[in-house]
A and B are shown apart, each in its own frame.
Chain A
Amino acid sequence: MSAVTVWLRRNLFRSPVDAVVTVIAAVVAGWVLWRTLNFVFVTGRWEIIRVNLRLMLIGRFPEAHELRIAVTVVSLSAWGGVLAGIVRARQVKAGRVDAADTKFGVRRVADLAERFWIPLLLVVLLLALAGTVGPVIVAVLSVVAAVIGRLIGPVIGRLELPAIGRTVLVTVLLAIPVILYFYVVTAVGFDDWGGFMLNLFLAACSIILCYPIGVLLALGRRSTLPLVRVVCTVFIEIIRGAPLFVLLLFANVALGFFVPESLVPATSTRAIVVFTLFTAAYMAEIIRGGLQSVPSGQFEAAKALGLSPVRQTFLIVLPQAIRNVIPAQIGQLISLFKDTALAGVAMGSFELLRVSQAITQQDDFAGQGLIGETLAFGAVMFWAISYTMSRESQRFETRLGVGVR
């Protein structure tokens, strides 16, 4: 028997029942595959995507200010590169990773390619669809910037900095995205952002804003003070008990009633408020789980050192708690990212899904039933990002597990 037959018998045709299952599964798989390929390559009319690509990615962002997006993307790539470099250098220094692993070589490139080929493929596809030079230049510059950043990063990471220097470094690194945000937002307020950019922004904004609230709620719910606990618990349970979609609908029609007339928030702001509060309630539960996982010895040790309750919490317990539940937090980030599509349905916010629906009514495409194509494109965009994030999270989880045990 050849190796192939052995493999087949072992993996597909173990027993008669198994063989039947395999045949049925093969038929189903073949049908789905055929339908998909047929749709993608034969029946799909992708012209609508090509024409509206800009609308789907950045919405109605004024053309005059596009350069700011380009600068931001390139800067963020460089920033990411530097950050990755610093982290890696510190891990090497702490002996947590093998220095040989970080050596640049075929293995490392292959590893990176294995991790990021999906978003990479997507970017290439988008560039091909765009058909203009601008995005290609931005993409190339981003890659270059990221590589340079990655090369500079370790140098910075290896520096023996005094306390002040370290503070300055951290501040600068933290300030860069904020500065970039203001750089873009001063030209075009985020109410005028749209497309996939808006999805990313809503998710990023809400996940950052939800942290302080989530941490306070988690601490409040675990507090020994009954009234504080009740207030936090009621809030968390109400938010978690209500569907996000209904909260969005409610905020859309009613948020304006609860603030003075002069403060009525625009659509994107409303969406951010809801996403933030919603994620904060979930984050509070995640962090609460993390807090429970911190051994009580840590508390006692901190107490023995004479730290005040506030310091015990914020210096000793909370960092460990948050670190313990990083995978769950990434999971929440992914689900938040997917949920941003609801802002379009519930609020008419001009995010990717809303764009997908709106462009089917354009003069050139109305009545042709192109919603399948536009939705498929949207699904691929969401999928590529979410899937990559969840894989990275799993990778991180395994690494974290190895480190702990």
Chain B
Amino acid sequence: MRKTLIRLAAPVVLAGLIGAACTTADDEPDATDAVEESTDEPADEPADEPADEPADEPAEEPADESADEPADEEPADEEPVEEVQSGESLLDTVIANDSVRCGTRDALPGFAVLTEDGDHVGFDADFCRVIAAAVLGDATKVDFIDLETPDRFTALQSGEVDVLVRNTTWTASRDGGEGATFLQPNFYDGQGMMVSADSGFAALTDMDGVIVCVAQGTTTEGNAAAEANRLGLNWEIRAFEDVELIQQAFEAGQCDGWSSDRSQLTGLRSEFPAGPDALTILPETFSKEPLAPAVSDGDTQWAQAVNWAVLATIQAEEFGITSENVGDFADTTDITIQRFLGLEIAGDDGAAVLDPGLGLPTDFGFQVVSQVGNYGEIFDAHLAPLGLERGVNSLWTDGGLLYAPPYR
């Protein structure tokens, strides 16, 4: 009888806990026991635990204190005044840790896959390296952290990763609601539809009463549904967690269409077992998918550093600097290139290098290009083999969208 009573009481207590406190207490009760023995005051728990963390250098101020101080003494003497920032910048933390924690993924051909040795290769992985090369001067100092689609933003919010380069679409509600700040897109994509060549579909409007398969937890899912509504078509949308599962389902004829970013579709098509000709990517692009690196909200300094690291690859391509020929520019007289590569510029009062005050080393442009390469090189290494054209991802000089603000 009593057992039943307790069983009945439990949901009530639980509801009370959740309703009133808006939190679930079932989370950390191993600490219950710790608290039980040690102390009644939880106040010193957070205080003494950071002490044995390795990162005591940057974390001089505990989080709770620095939250409302706009600028504390330390950054104040080296930072330009315009930086309105609460607490320390991630930039300092990254430099102190001597490693960039880059949120990425491990199973998207072209963007980031694992080699047999466990290295990450791909377009996004290279942009992680670009950031490390720019900030730390060493492209190998990246700590790749693989994230699942649903928790990529929480990883960013909670500070588990410093930057997210995980082919993530920049949308307004993500910018606003997810506590993320999106930066210069490194790839302009759009959602498309792939069908099997013998299906007879030539345009989206042919596809009525069909099953469309997508990856779950992405913008693709909503986009496809919205597009079907817009065109007045009956699409049944099936979401899968894993690309491999979609492929299997598609091959088995469970899906009529496979909707995803065109870049992904192109990659998947190029490696399709029955050959790329067995598949057709329909001409329509029904969404804009600017894939951009993202950092946590409220850290302007770190955001600028990452942004300029990405822009450096674009700028380098515009200058025609590649990882092969970057050495030849050591004695260039072009002042814009000198600035970009952090070379000494002869002036009236002796030689100087340009330091725009981004908090990056003055030669970050050189490091990025020499260690990783310019945008075109990165693209050619990872995306061109999948059969992707540069398209809108060309330099503005070639009619594309890539345009780096002047470096001066």
Contact = CB atoms under 8 A, between A and B. Distances in A.
- Report if A and B touch in the complex (beta carbons < 8 A): yes
Interface in A204-246: 209, 212-213, 216, 230-231, 233-235, 237-239, 241-242
Q: Give the interface residue-count category, chain B.
A: 35 or more
A371 B160 contact: no
A218 to B, nearest CB: 12
A71 interface: no
Interface of B: 6-7, 9-10, 13-14, 23-30, 32-33, 46, 49-50, 53, 55, 59, 62-64, 106-109, 113-118, 121, 145-148, 150-151, 154, 157-160, 241-245, 247-248, 251, 267-268, 271-273
B114 A362 contact: yes
A346 B272 CA distance: 28
B116 A54 contact: yes
23 contacts: A54-B116, A55-B116, A230-B9, A238-B14, A249-B150, A251-B27, A252-B154, A256-B154, A256-B157, A258-B27, A260-B62, A262-B63, A264-B159, A267-B160, A277-B28, A347-B148, A347-B151, A348-B148, A350-B106, A350-B146, A354-B146, A361-B106, A367-B247
Given A252-B151, A348-B151, A362-B114, A233 B6 contact: yes
B42 to A, nearest CB: 11
A369 B273 contact: yes
A366 interface: yes
B109 A258 contact: no
A317 to B, nearest CB: 20
Contact of A363 (B113, B118, B242): B113
A332 B24 CA distance: 25
A276 B30 contact: yes
B147 A369 contact: no
B63 A363 contact: no
A368 interface: yes
B178 to A, nearest CB: 11
A258 B244 contact: no
Contacts of A361: 106-109, 113, 243-244
B182 to A, nearest CB: 20
Nearest to A209: B30
Contact of A362 (B13, B32, B116): B116
Contact of B63 (A55, A261, A368): A261
A255 interface: yes
Given A255-B27, A357-B107, A368-B273, A51 B116 contact: yes
Contacts of B59: 262
A187 interface: no
B118 A55 contact: yes
Contact of A260 (B46, B113, B151): B46
A367 B248 CA distance: 9
Given A254-B154, A277-B26, 9 more contacts: A51-B116, A55-B117, A234-B10, A235-B32, A259-B28, A261-B63, A280-B30, A350-B106, A367-B271
A253 B23 CA distance: 14
A369 B146 CA distance: 22
A256 B243 contact: no
Given A213-B33, A277-B30, A348 B146 contact: yes
Contacts of A254: 27, 154
A235 B25 CA distance: 8
A104 interface: no
Contact of B28 (A52, A209, A258, A369): A258
Given A258-B23, A348-B148, A369 B248 contact: yes
A363 B123 CA distance: 13
B211 to A, nearest CB: 19
Contacts of A277: 26, 28-30
A286 interface: no
B114 A369 contact: no
A216 B33 contact: yes
A233 B114 contact: no
A347 B155 CA distance: 11
Contacts of B109: 361, 363, 366-367
Nearest to B56: A262
A359 interface: yes
Interface string A181-223: 0000000000000100000000000000100110010000000
B151 A357 contact: no
Nearest to B59: A262
B26 A235 contact: yes
B53 A357 contact: no
Please provide the 8 A-B residue pairs with the shortest distance between their CB atoms, ordered closest to farther.
Answer: A256-B158, A60-B118, A367-B271, A261-B63, A361-B107, A348-B148, A253-B154, A358-B106
